[in-house]
Structure 1
Amino acid sequence: MRLKPSRFLTATQTNQRYLLSLEPDRLLHNFRAGAGLPPKGEVYGGWESRGIAGHSLGHYLSAVSLTWAQTGQPEFKRRAAYIVEELAACQGANGDGYAGGTTVDRDGKTLDGKVVYEEVRAGKIDTAGFGLNGGWVPIYTYHKVLAGTLDAHALCDDPKALAVAIGLADYLGRMFEALDAQQVQTVLRAEHGGIVESFAELHARTGQQRWLDLARRVQHEDIVGPLAEGRDDLAGKHANTQIPKLIGEARLYETGGDARAAKAAMFFWETVVHDHSYVIGGNSEFEHFGKPRQLSTRLGQQTCECCNSYNMLKLTRHLHAWSGESRYFDFYERAHLNHILSQQDPDTGMFTYFSPLASGYARGHSSPTDSFWCCVGSGMENYSKLGDSIFWRDGERIRVNLYYPSTLDWSEKGAKLEIDTDFPYSDQITLTLSKAKTPTPVSLRVPGWCAAPSVKLNGRAHAVTVKNGYIDLTLRAGDKVALTLPMTVRTESMPDAPDLVAFVNGPLVLAADLGPPDQPWDSFDPVVVGTAALTPADAPQRFSLADHSRPQDLTLRPYFEQHHNRTAVYFRNLTPAQWTQAEPRLVAEAKARADIRDRTVDILRFGEQQPETDHALKASPGTQDSGNLTVRSRVLNKGSITFQMAAAPGPLILEVTYDGSPRNKDFRILVEGQEVAHETLPGERTSPLNVKTYPLPQALTEGKSKVTISFEMAANQWAAVFEARVFKAAR
C-alpha cells in the first residue's frame, strides 16, 4: 500500500524528515553507557535526559520500521537494522539479555535502571502510580524497546530483531517468574505499558508456551477483573496506563483463546468510546479518566492526551479484526482525522501532548531535541502509519475502511486498487480496479454519519444495498466506482450538558478560530444564541455562525487543521431569553479581566525560559517546568521557588493562576520574607484554571521597585502554577 499525493502523504513526509534528523546513537546513549560500552552520541534533552530515557528509542525503532513498510525507502530499514545491532551489542555486554535506557538516582548518583529490576527480582518492591523502586516507569519504557524490536522483526524481516526481542523478554520474564502472584500484582501497580501484548506476541511468533504463561501471569487483575465483569471503575485512573493493558488482553485472546480477556477488552472499548470520550475521539482530562458521561466540567488545556488515541486505535484494529463490524471504524475515522491528524505541526513536524478543548487555548508543540515526551514517541509512530488501515483483507475480499488517496498493490492476487479523492473536504471518492487477474470482491464502508450513499459503476448508477455497514461489489479489471458520501452538519451534545454542543460535518469536528496564540482571548467563551445552524462559507468545510454567535460572528473550520491559533470546540447554546439574562454577567466578567490587565504592574508566565530569567527565578530541586502544555507552568513539589516582581506606589494585589485540578495542597506564599498567605487549594475543580488573589501589605511594597516572592511547599506534593501577576488595587 502506498499513499498518493495528499495532506496525508505530506504529513508522512514531514515526519520522515524529522525521523532522519534524529541520531540513533544519541537515543542509544544510555543503553551503551549502562552496558559499560562507550556512548557514540550525547544524550538528547527533555525526558531523554531524565530517568524515563529509552522509551523514545523504542518508538523510534517502531517508526522507522513502519516507514520502511509504508515507503520502501532503504534508509529507514538500515536505521532499524543498526539499532537492532546496537541493542544486541548491549545485550552481549550485559550477558543476560538486558538492554535498557532508564536511570535511577541513588544517594546523589545516577545509576543504570537495571538495579531496579534486580531489586524486584530479589523481592524488594516499592511501587507508586509511576514509580517502581525509585525508577520512573521502568517496565513501561522497557516495553517500548521490546515492542520496537518486534516491529523491526515483523516489518523489516530482520531475524536478529526477534533474537534481541527474545533476550529482552527473557530477562524481564525471569524477574516476574521469581515472584509470587501477589508480588507480581504489586509490581503491576506501576505503569507497565503493554507488556502483556509483547509476551503474547512472542508466543504467536515462536509457539513457545512460556510466553503465553508469562502474558497470563502479568495481567493486572485490579483493572482486568472489573472490566471482565462489566464494571466501569475507571474514574480517577491514569488513562494511558490502562489502555495498553487491554490491547494486551486482546492479543491474549487472539493467541491463547482467553475468552475473559476478550470480554474485558470489548467492554473497555465500549466504555471509553461511549462514556469517556470527547467529540474529537480523544479521552481523559489531566491524563485521567473521570466519572462516566461527566465531561462538561472536564474541559481544559489538558484534555485528550495523544498517546491515548494512539493506543485506542490499536485496540480498535484488534476488535474490528474479530467481527468486521464497520462501527469500529466509525470511531477509528473520528479519532484519526480529528485527534491524530491534529497532533503534528505541519510546518515543523513537531507534536502536541494534549489537544485542548477549552475555549481560548492554542496547541503547544514539542521541540526537535529537547522534549521527547511520551506523545513525541507515539507521534513518530502515528505519522509513520497514516495509511495502515485504509485497506483490509477479508479472505479473498478487499475491504476499504478509510477513504484516503492511496494505491493497494495486492501482488499475490494480481490486483491493484486505487483511491482518488479530496476526502474529507469532498464527498466524492473514485475507486479504480486498474489491474486484476480475476473478478475481485470489494466492500466499501459506509460511515455511520452518512445516511444516503450513492454509487456509480463505470458511469452508470448502481443500486446500493448497505449490509453490516458495507456496500459489496464485485469488480473486474478497469472498473471504476464513483462513491458519494453526502455530509451534513449536525451538533453533538455533552452527555451531562445538553446545551453544550459541538459542530460536526460528516467526519470532521469543526472549531471556531479565536485568533493567534500570541494575542490573548479576553472575552467570554463563545455562545450560540437560538438555532444552532451554520451557514456554508466560500470553501469546503468552512462555515459561519453569522448572527447566532456571541461575542462576534465566528468562522468554523476543521479542528485538526487549526495548528497555530486559539480555538473553541464546544459552545453553550442558549435561547434568546437565556442570552438576555446571561449577557450582562459574561460581559462584566470579560470587562473585569481587561481592567485587571490595564492595571497590571508585572506578570510572570512560569515555565517559559526568558520570563523566568527576567524575574530571577530560582527553584529548589524537585520543581520543574511543564513544557507539554499550551500554557506552560512550573510544577511545585517539595521545596520552593523564589522570583522577583516589579512593584509600584499604592496598594497592590498578587494574582496567581493555578491548575484547576489540585486540591488539599499545603504551601506558603511569602513576600520579602514575610508570609502573606497560607494556601491549601481546597475543594473540587470547577474550571480549567484556579485564579486566586492575595492583597499585599503596603508596608512590604511601598518605595520599592521590586519585591521578592516565594512559594514554599510544606511536603512532597504536586501543584502546578501557571502565572503570577502584580496589579494595582482598584481606586
Structure 2
Amino acid sequence: MTPSIFLTSVQANQRYLLSLDANRLLHNFYAGAGLATKGEVYGGWESRGIAGHSLGHYLSALSLIYAQTGDPQFRDRAAYIVGELKAIQAQQGDGYAGGTTVERNGKTVDGKVVYEELRKGKIRSTGFSLNEGWVPFYTYHKVVAGALDAHQHAGIADGLTVAVGLGDYLGNILEGLSDAEVQEILRTEHGGLTESYAELYKRTGNRRWLTLAERIRHHAIIDPLQAGRDELAGNHANTQIPKIVGEARLHELTGNTDQAKIAQFFWTTVTRDHSYVIGGNSDHEHFGLPRQLAQRLDQQTCEACNSYNMLRLTRHLYGWNGDARYFDFYERAHLNHIMSQQNPKTGMFTYFTALAPGMGRVHSNPTEDFWCCVGSGMESHSKHGESIYWKRGDAVAINLYYASTLDAPEAQLDMRTQFPLSDTVRITVAKAPRKLALRVPGWCAAPRLQVNGKAGGIRDGSYLMLAGLKAGDRIELFLPMPLHVESMPDDAKLVAFLSGPLVLAADMGADNSPSEGMDPALVTDRAQPALVPAGGLHQYRLGGQGKPGDLTLRPFFSQHDNRTAVYFRRFDPAEWPTAQVAWARAASKRADLAARTIDMIRLGEQQPEVDHNFADSGQSAAVSHIAERSRNVNTGYFEFDLAVAPGPLMLTVAYSGGQRNKDFRILIDGEQLVRERLTGEVTAARNVQTYPLPPEMTREKAKIRVRFESDEWQGVEVYTARTMRTKSI
C-alpha cells in the first residue's frame, strides 16, 4: 500500500495491535492449563465467558499485517503466541487450548468442562448458550483460524501443528456423538468450524478432516438454501455467514456443485434482499423479512462482523468465475461499511453502524471492550491490499483502485491514486503483464482510458483490456463519479445518495451533543432528487428541498465523530403541508421534553454515571457497543441520583422497544415506586414508560436515589431515566 486512506487505516491498526499484550490475551489459556499467568486478563468480553475469541482474531491480524507489510515484528509476535499455544496444548495433554469460562456451582471454571460434558452426550443448546457456556465453539473456531492464518500468512510451521491439535481434540468429541447430537450442538453459534476443518483437509490431505467438515454442516440452515428458499428471517445473521463460507470452501475442495449453489444463492439473497445502501446487513444482529428494510433503521443496523464475513464469501465466489458484479458489492461494502468501522485517528472500531437519522458511532475502548467486531476489525484493517490484484486467465486484473504497488512474477505495477476521493488512476508499468484487465465499476457509465496519452483499451464485458504493454508505459484511467439515488426496496420514498462508489450522508453535528429538531426530509416531486454541488468531488447540499433546512452531504465512511443522516424521507410538494404538521409535532415533542426535564442520566456512559453517583451490586452490565449506550437490569441492583424540583413530577424511563414480560422493581430512596412487568405491544422504537412521583417522595428534596432491582436475571436494557415536570412551565 502507498499513501492513501487505506494505508492510514493499516498503520492505525498496526499501532493498536502493537499496543496489546499477547500475555494478557493468553491469561485464561494459561490458567485453564494450570500454568502461571503472565498478565492480567483484559476487560469487556475478555473478562467474561467468551474470553479467547480475541486471541484468535489477534493472531490472524498479526499474520495478515505481516503478509501486508513484511514487518517482522508482527511475525515474531504471532510466532510467540503459536509457541505458547503449543506449550499449553502439551500441558493439557490432548490438544485442547481455550480461554472460555463457565459458571458451575456458583464458581467460574475453565470452559473445557463444557466439552467434556458434550463428550458424554450431555448437551444443552440454545442460540448463544451451549451447556451454559457463551458460544464456546465460536471462540474455539477463532483460535483454530488464528493458528491456520499464522501458518499460511506468516509462514509459521507450528501454526498447522497447533491447528491439528485443536482439530483433533474437538474432532474426537464430535466423532463419538450421533448425527442428531451434533446437529443439536450446531444450534449454538459455532463460527466457521466447517471452513477450518475443510482447510485442515486441504493442508494435510487427511480425509478425517473432510469427513468432520461435512458432518458439522448445519442442516437447519443449509437445507433450505440448497432448495432455493430464503428462510433467513429471524436468524442471527453473522451466525449463518461463516457456515456459507464453509460451503464455498468445501465446493472448492470437492467439486460438489450443490455446495456452490448454496453459496451463490445465499450471497445473492443477502446482497439483494437483506442489505442496506452501505453494503451491510442485519438489524439488532438478525435478518428480517426479505426486502423489508424501511422499518429496520435504528442504532443497531449493520453489524461489522457480517460485512467482514460477506467480503470473505465474495472473494470465494469471484474466484470461481470472475464475475465483476461480485466486486461491485465488495467495493460498496468495503468502502462504506468496513472503512467507516475504524476511526483512523484512534484505531478503534464500531460494533454496529447506525443508519437512523441523527445517530453517531460508538468506538471501542482499547482495553475494556473486545467485542466480536473488535476482533474482526483487527483483521479487516490488516488486509486492505488483499483484493486489489488478481490473476484472470492470462491477464492481471485490477479490481480495486487502491494506491499500491504490485511486485509479482506476472507484472510489476505502480498505481498512484487517491481513489475513492479522486476519479483519476495512474499506473506506471515496470514489468508488463501479458494482458492487463481493468475493472469498470457498475456505477461508472463512461470510463476513459489512455496509454501514454492516447486512447486505448478494448471493452470486454465489465473490464477494459490492454495488451502489448511494455516497461515504462503510463496508463491513465478516468472514472467519472456521477450522483445517483437508491431507494429502499419496500419504500420508494425513503432514499439515499451515492457519489460514484461512496454513500453520502448529511452532517448533523458532533456526536457528543444530542440530536434535536426534526429529522431531515426532502420536499420534491422528483423521484430521483438532485443535490446541489458544494465545491469538490463528493460534496453536496440538500438546497431548498431540504427540510427543516439545508444540510451538507459528504462521504459517510469518513464521518467518524458526528451524527449523520443516510436515508431521507421524500415528500411531494402537495403532501408536505399536511405531513409537515406531524413532522413538526415530533420536533415539538422533543423540545417540550427538553423544557420539562429537570435531570437525566444516560445509562452505560461513564461521565453521566459518575455525575449521578452510579453504583451497583456488581451484576449490572453496561451495553456499550451501540450508538446509545444502556444498562441491563440483571440479578441485584443498580442505582443513581437524580435532581428534583418543586411541583408535580414524574420519572420517565426509556427501555428497549423489543423487550416485554419482565419482572423488576423501581425504588425511590429505598421505597418501592413500581413493580414493572413491561407489558404491551412490542415496538421497534423505545418503550418509554412514565411513573408519577408521589409528592411525599420528593417533598423538600434536592435529589432522589433511584434504584432498579431484580431477584433474577432480566436483561432489560435501560437507556435513560429522567425526572420531569408533569406540565410545561
Q: TM-score range by the shorter chain?
A: over 0.9
1:277 equivalent in alignment to 2:270: no
Separation in 2 of the partners of 1:340 and 1:535? 28
Residue 431 (structure 2) aligned to one of 432, 435, 440: 435
d(CA) in 1 for partners of 2:247, 2:660 = 35
What do the CA deviations read for 1:477-502 (whole angstroms, capped 9, x no partner)?
Answer: 22222111111111110111110000
Alignment correspondent of 2:95: 97
Q: Does the Cα contact within 8 Å between 1:442 and 1:472 map onto a contact in 2? A: yes
* 1:509 Cα deviation after fit: 0.2
Answer yes or no: is 1:497 the counterpart of 2:491.
Answer: yes
Alignment-derived partner of residue 646 in structure 2: 649
Give the drift of 1:680. 1.6
In the alignment, what sits opposite 2:605?
Answer: 608
Q: Secondary structure at the match of 2:397?
A: strand
Question: Could you tell which deviates more after superposition, 608-617 or 451-460?
Answer: 608-617
Instruction: Report the equivalent of 2:697.
Output: 700
How far the C-alpha of 1:434 sits from its partner, in A, is 1.6
Q: What is the aligned partner in structure 2 of residue 453 from structure 1? A: 447
TM normalised by structure 2 equals 0.97
- d(CA) in 2 for partners of 1:430 and 1:20? 34
- 1:638 deviation in Å? 4.3
CA distance in 2, matches of 1:490, 1:228: 35
User: 1: distance between equivalents of 2:518 and 2:722?
Assistant: 20
Query: What's the offset of the Cα at 1:505?
Result: 0.9
Q: What residue in structure 1 maps to residue 340 of structure 2?
A: 342
Aligned to 2:392: 394
Once residues 589 and 114 of structure 2 are traced to their aligned partners in structure 1, the CA distance between those partners, rounded to angstroms, is 53
| Paired position in structure 2 for 1:267 | 265
Identify the range of structure 1 (360-369 vs 525-534) with the bigger mean alpha-carbon deviation.
525-534
Q: Which residue of 1 aligns with 2:294?
A: 296
1:560 to 557, 560, 572: 557
Counterpart position of 1:146: 144
Q: Structure 1 pair 681/323, CA: closer, same or farther in 2 (3 Å)?
A: farther
Distance 1:200 1:183 in 2: 21
Maintained 8 Å contact 1:351/1:379:
yes
CA deviation after TM superposition for structure 1 residue 622, in Å: 4.2
Query: What residue in structure 2 maps to residue 329 of structure 1?
Result: 327
Name which of 240, 252, 260 aligns with 2:238: 240
Partner residue of 1:473 out of 462, 466, 476: 466
Q: Matched residues in 1 for 2:302 and 2:619: separation?
A: 26
Partner of 1:424: 420
Q: Distance in 2 between matches of 1:719 and 1:298?
A: 20
Q: Which residue of 2 aligns with 1:305?
A: 303
SS in 2 for 1:722: strand
Give the partner amino acid of 2:87: A
Return 5+ residue gaps in structure 2 as ranges: none
Which whole-Å deviations, capped at 9, do the CAs of 1:227-276 have from their partners, x for residues lacking one?
11111111111111111111111111111223222221111111110111
Q: The residue matched to 2:348 in structure 1 has which SS?
A: coil
1:590 aligns with 2:603: no
Q: Distance in 2 between matches of 1:590 and 1:667?
A: 32
Q: 2 CA distance for matches of 1:546 and 1:30?
A: 57
SS in 1 for 2:42: coil
**Aligned residues of 2:457 and 2:466 also touching (Cα < 8 A):** no
- Please give the residue correspondences for 1:129-278 in structure 2 after superposition, counting only pairs within 5 Å: 129-278=127-276
Q: Is the 8 A contact 1:350 1:365 kept in 2?
A: yes
1:717/1:674 Cα in 2 relative to 1: closer, same or farther (>3 Å)? closer
User: What's the secondary structure of 1:125's corresponding residue?
Assistant: coil
- Residues 676 and 696 of structure 1 are in contact (CA less than 8 Å); yes or no, is this contact kept in structure 2? no
1:273 partner SS:
helix
Q: Deviations over 1:378-432 (max 9, x none)?
A: 111011001110001124321111000111101x33x201211121122211222
Worse-matched range after superposition: 531-540 or 385-394: 531-540
Alpha carbons of structure 1 residues 614 and 261: separation in structure 2 relative to 1, 3 Å: same
- Kindly provide the amino acid, as one letter, of the partner of residue 648 in structure 1: A
Match of 2:571 in 1: 574
CA positional deviation for 1:595: 2.2
Distance between the aligned counterparts of 2:507 and 2:404, measured in 1? Answer: 31
1:724 partner SS: strand
1:459 Cα deviation after fit: 0.8
Read off the aligned partner of 2:157 and give its amino acid letter.
Answer: P
SS of structure 2 residue aligned to 1:335: helix
The partner residue of 2:507 within 503, 513, 517 is 513
Separation of aligned partners in 1, 2:677 and 2:378: 41
Q: How far did 1:462 drift?
A: 2.0
SS of 1:123's equivalent? coil
* Larger displacement relative to structure 2 (582-591 or 148-157): 582-591
Q: CA deviation at 1:677?
A: 5.7
Aligned residues: 723
TM-score, structure 1 as length reference: 0.96
Alpha-carbon distance in structure 2 between the residues aligned to 1:368 and 1:222: 38
SS in 2 for 1:265: helix
Measured in 2, the distance between the counterparts of 1:329 and 1:637 equals 45
Contact 1:677–1:694 at 8 Å: present in 2 too? no
1:359 aligns with 2:357: yes
Q: 4+ residue stretches of structure 1 with deviation over 6 A?
A: none
Corresponding residue for residue 15 of structure 1: 13
1:147 CA displacement = 0.2
Note the C-alpha offset of 1:645: 2.0
Whether the aligned pair in 2 keeps the contact of 1:664 and 1:683 (CA below 8 Å) is no
Contact 2:653 2:689 in 1 (8 A): yes
Asked if the contact 1:454–1:464 (Cα under 8 Å) also holds between the matched residues in 2, the reply is no
Q: 3-state DSSP class of the match of 2:235?
A: coil
Q: Distance in 1 between matches of 2:388 and 2:109?
A: 45
After TM superposition, give the deviation of residue 463 of structure 1 in Å: 5.2
Contact 1:440/1:476 (<8 A) preserved: no
CA distance in 1, matches of 2:348, 2:242: 24
**2:634–2:709 contact (8 Å) kept in structure 1:** no
Corresponding residue number in structure 2 for 1:86:
84
- Secondary structure of 2:343's partner? coil
1:625 matched to which residue of 2?
A: 622
CA distance in 2, matches of 1:703, 1:114: 57
TM-align CA RMSD: 1.6
Which amino acid in the other structure matches residue 629 of structure 1? I
Partner of 1:51: 49
The answer as to 2:516 corresponding to 1:522 is yes
